[in-house]
Structure 1
Amino acid sequence: MTTETGQRRWIPGHKRLFTPLGEVRGKQPVPGGWSVSCKCGWSASSPSPTTAEAERVYRQHFDEVANELERLHIPHQRRSITKISGHKREVSPRGPSTRGKPVSEGWVSACACGWTHELPLRTFRAAENAYADHVDTLAEENWPVCKRCTQRKRPSQMSTSSPRMCKPCRTAATRAWAAANPSEWERHRRRSYLKRRYGITLEEADALLADQNGKCAICGAAEGDSRGFRMHIDHDHSTGAVRGVLCNLCNAGLGNFRDKPELLLKAITYLELHTRGEDRHAGTDDQAAFC
Structure 2
Amino acid sequence: MPRESFHSNVRRPDGLAFYCRDCAAQRSETSRRKRGVQPRKRSAEPVPVGSQWCPDCDTIKPLIDFARTTAKASGYHSYCLTCHTARGVESKIRLNGGTREYHLRRRYGIGQADFDEMLWRQFGRCAICRAPDPQHVDHDHRTGAVRGILCFNCNGGLGQFRDNQDYLAGAIEYLKGTTWQRTLIHPGVYRITSSMRERPPSRSS
Give the TM-score taking structure 1 as reference length: 0.35
Larger radius of gyration: 2
Give the TM-score taking structure 2 as reference length: 0.49
Q: Which has the higher contact order (CA 8 A, sep 6+)?
A: 1
